[in-house]
Amino acid sequence: MDSEKILYRYKYMPFEEGSLKVITEGTLKYTCPLEFNDPFDCMPAYNTASIATYLNEHPEYLEIALAKSKSTPAARITGKQRIVARTKSLVESGAFIKGLVSTVGVLSLSRIPTEILMWSHYTKHHQGFVVEFKIDLKNYIEGKHDLMMPHPVIYSETRPVLEFGTTLEVEEYFLKKSLKWAYEQEERVVTTNEGHGIHSYDREAFLNCVISGSKISPDNFKTLKRAVKTAEKDCKKKIPIFKSELSPTEYKVIIPGHPNTAHH
């Protein structure tokens, strides 16, 4: 359970080599938003009427586009109209915003380790595992730990509609999703500096425990335990491993012995 100084966040993963490296090597995948399964995710809409207004108010951008042109004044007016129309087309097709978000990396975490749909979707039918990260805010080191500082996703029934030319803001572009996804209780680490790809994190500071799926195979569970032993040796600390179970009487995932799930 969270406190004012400590956050517990969870990463649901299938049983794969890359997932095991989160434990054994301290690496995490920060995903490009263009790879998300929700086509609306990180894709706010634009007020297309604001495109012409913005370009008219900032003629320097039109002049740059026309700089190499030796057209007559009349042709330049037509050229400006073409640039406005082309910009509008790029915005409406989604190509404009795809270019903006294509270099960003996002790490998706959850506030809960017991969500049935998360186990079903992201751990391949409860056959994978969840990694618990303990984020101690009082020991947070700016710069060193930025790749593990999550921000809550804001769920809404309405899609963000932005004015063209507004600053690329993390909340508007990367932290707003349809209310349909609220069950995920998602939080995100967003990095524009490091970008998407595989990045290292501080296992000793953040890796707190591992929770296996209820349907994990015996062989994979043994492999998972070996991975945890490797992390314990590297980090010189105890890293508990728990095994989730399906409640025999309710639609619930339970994690016997886990200290933070009694209220879920």
Residue 194 has pLDDT above 70, yes or no: yes
Kindly state whether residue 26 falls inside one of the protein's structural domains: yes
Q: Is 122 found in the same domain as 218?
A: yes
Distance between CA atoms of residues 52 and 84, nearest Å: 6
Q: Is 58 found in the same domain as 127?
A: no
**Mean pLDDT, the chain, integer:** 90
Q: Is 232 found in the same domain as 130?
A: yes
pLDDT digits (tens, 9 = 90+) for 199-217: 999 999 999 999 999 999 9
Kindly state whether residue 63 falls inside one of the protein's structural domains: yes
Residue 69 has pLDDT above 90, yes or no: no
Residue 65 has pLDDT above 70, yes or no: no
pLDDT digits (tens, 9 = 90+) for 70-123: 555 555 566 677 777 888 888 888 898 899 899 999 999 999 999 999 999 999
Range of the domain at 64: 45-93
Kindly state whether residue 1 falls inside one of the protein's structural domains: no
Using pLDDT thresholds of 50, 70 and 90, give the confidence band for residue 61. low
Kindly state whether residue 141 falls inside one of the protein's structural domains: yes
* Per-residue model confidence (pLDDT) at position 93: 87
Kindly state whether residue 260 falls inside one of the protein's structural domains: no
Domain count, the chain: 2
Using pLDDT thresholds of 50, 70 and 90, give the confidence band for residue 186. very high
Kindly state whether residue 240 falls inside one of the protein's structural domains: yes
pTM: 0.88
Q: Is 68 found in the same domain as 184?
A: no
Q: Is 126 found in the same domain as 152?
A: yes
Q: Is 110 found in the same domain as 241?
A: yes
Kindly state whether residue 210 falls inside one of the protein's structural domains: yes
- Between 250 and 264, residue with greater pLDDT: 250
Q: Is 240 found in the same domain as 207?
A: yes
Q: Is 246 found in the same domain as 146?
A: yes
Q: Is 198 found in the same domain as 86?
A: no
Residues 170/151, Cβ–Cβ less than 8 Å = yes
Kindly state whether residue 163 falls inside one of the protein's structural domains: no
